[in-house]
Amino acid sequence: MDIKNKSITSREDDFAKWYTDIVTKAEMAAYSKIKGSIIIEPRGYAVWENIQRGLDKMFKDTGHENVYMPMLIPESLLQKEANHVEGFAPEVAWVTKGGNNDLEEKLGLRPTSEVLFCDYYSSKIQSYRDLPKLYNQWCNVFRWEKETRPFLRGREFLWQEGHTVHETSKEAEEETHRMLNIYKTFFEEYLAIPVITGRKTEKEKFAGADYTLTVEALMYNGISLQSATSHYFGQRFSIPFDIKFLNRNGEYENPYQTSWGTSTRMIAAIIMVHGDDNGLVLPPRIAPTKVVIVPISKSEEVKNKAYELLNNLKDAGISTIVDDSEKSPGFRYAEHEMNGVPIRIELGPRDLEKNQVVLARRDTYKKSIVPLEANLVNEVNTLLDDIQKNMYETAKARNAEKTYECTQLDEVAEIMENRPGFVKAMWCGEEECEMKFKEIRGTKSRCIVDNEKPIDDKCICCKKEAKHLVYWGIQY
CB within 8 Å of 39: residues ≥ 6 apart: 29, 30, 31, 32
Q: Give the C-alpha separation, 199 to 229, whole Å.
A: 9
141-160 positions binding its own copies, by CB under 8 A: 144, 155-156, 158
345 belongs to the binding site for its own copies (CB under 8 A)? no
Q: How far is the CB of 421 from its own copies (least distance, A)?
A: 33
Q: Please say which residue, 51 or 158, places its beta carbon nearer to its own copies.
A: 158
Q: Which of 22, 23, 73, 191 binds its own copies (CB under 8 A)?
A: 73
Q: Tell me the per-residue interface mask from 24 to 43 with its own copies, x by CB under 8 A, - otherwise.
A: ------x-xxx--xxxxxx-
CA distances 198 to 205, 217, 228, 273, Å, are 11, 12, 11, 20
Q: Which of 15, 25, 87, 93 binds its own copies (CB under 8 A)?
A: 93
Q: Please say which residue, 72 or 462, places its beta carbon nearer to its own copies.
A: 72
Contact predicate 471/445, CB 8 Å: yes
Q: Which of 22, 47, 51, 109 binds its own copies (CB under 8 A)?
A: 109
Strands 403-405 and 422-427: parallel
Q: For its own copies, how many residues bind (rule: CB under 8 A)?
A: 52
Q: Please say which residue, 94 or 128, places its beta carbon nearer to its own copies.
A: 94
Q: Please say which residue, 16 or 34, places its beta carbon nearer to its own copies.
A: 34
Q: How far is the CB of 87 from its own copies (least distance, A)?
A: 13
Contact predicate 284/179, CB 8 Å: no
Q: Give the C-alpha separation, 15 to 256, whole Å.
A: 43
Q: Please say which residue, 125 or 360, places its beta carbon nearer to its own copies.
A: 125
Amino acid at 82: A
Q: Which of 72, 223, 316, 372 binds its own copies (CB under 8 A)?
A: 72
281-300 positions binding its own copies, by CB under 8 A: none
- Phi, psi (deg, nearest 5) at residue 445: -65, 135
Q: Give the C-alpha separation, 380 to 359, whole Å.
A: 8
Q: How far is the CB of 139 from its own copies (least distance, A)?
A: 7
> Please, what's the largest Cα pairwise distance for the chain?
81
Q: Which of 58, 139, 409, 449 binds its own copies (CB under 8 A)?
A: 139
Residue 330 CB neighbour total at 10 angstroms: 10
324 belongs to the binding site for its own copies (CB under 8 A)? no
Q: Please say which residue, 325 or 368, places its beta carbon nearer to its own copies.
A: 325
Residue 296: DSSP 8-state: -
Q: Which stretch binds its own copies (CB under 8 A): 17-25, 72-80, 336-344, 366-374?
A: 72-80
Q: Please say which residue, 120 or 392, places its beta carbon nearer to its own copies.
A: 120
Burial of 423 (0-12, 13-18, 19+ CB in 10 A): buried
200-219 positions binding its own copies, by CB under 8 A: none
Q: Which of 94, 128, 159, 365 binds its own copies (CB under 8 A)?
A: 94
Q: How far is the CB of 34 from its own copies (least distance, A)?
A: 5
- CA contacts within 13 A on the Cβ side of 2: 0
Q: Give the C-alpha separation, 259 to 230, whole Å.
A: 6
379 belongs to the binding site for its own copies (CB under 8 A)? no
Q: Which of 7, 62, 83, 96 binds its own copies (CB under 8 A)?
A: 96
Q: How far is the CB of 26 from its own copies (least distance, A)?
A: 14
Q: Please say which residue, 241 or 404, places its beta carbon nearer to its own copies.
A: 241
**CA nearest 359: which of 383, 388, 378?**
383
Contact predicate 213/231, CB 8 Å: yes
352 belongs to the binding site for its own copies (CB under 8 A)? no
CB within 8 Å of 65: residues ≥ 6 apart: 134, 135, 136
Q: How far is the CB of 100 from its own copies (least distance, A)?
A: 7
128 belongs to the binding site for its own copies (CB under 8 A)? no
Q: Give the C-alpha separation, 356 to 367, whole Å.
A: 13
Peptide bond into 132 cis (omega under 30): yes
Q: Please say which residue, 331 or 435, places its beta carbon nearer to its own copies.
A: 331
Residue 442: DSSP 8-state: T
Amino acid at 364: T
Q: Give the C-alpha separation, 404 to 401, whole Å.
A: 8
Residue 90 CB neighbour total at 10 angstroms: 10
Contact predicate 81/241, CB 8 Å: yes
Q: How far is the CB of 29 from its own copies (least distance, A)?
A: 9
42-71 positions binding its own copies, by CB under 8 A: 42, 45-46, 48-49, 65-71
Q: How far is the CB of 413 from its own copies (least distance, A)?
A: 33
Q: How far is the CB of 256 from its own copies (least distance, A)?
A: 20
130 belongs to the binding site for its own copies (CB under 8 A)? no
Positions that interact with its own copies (CB under 8 A): 30, 32-34, 37-42, 45-46, 48-49, 65-74, 77, 89-100, 106-107, 109, 116, 119-120, 123-124, 135, 139-140, 144, 155-156, 158
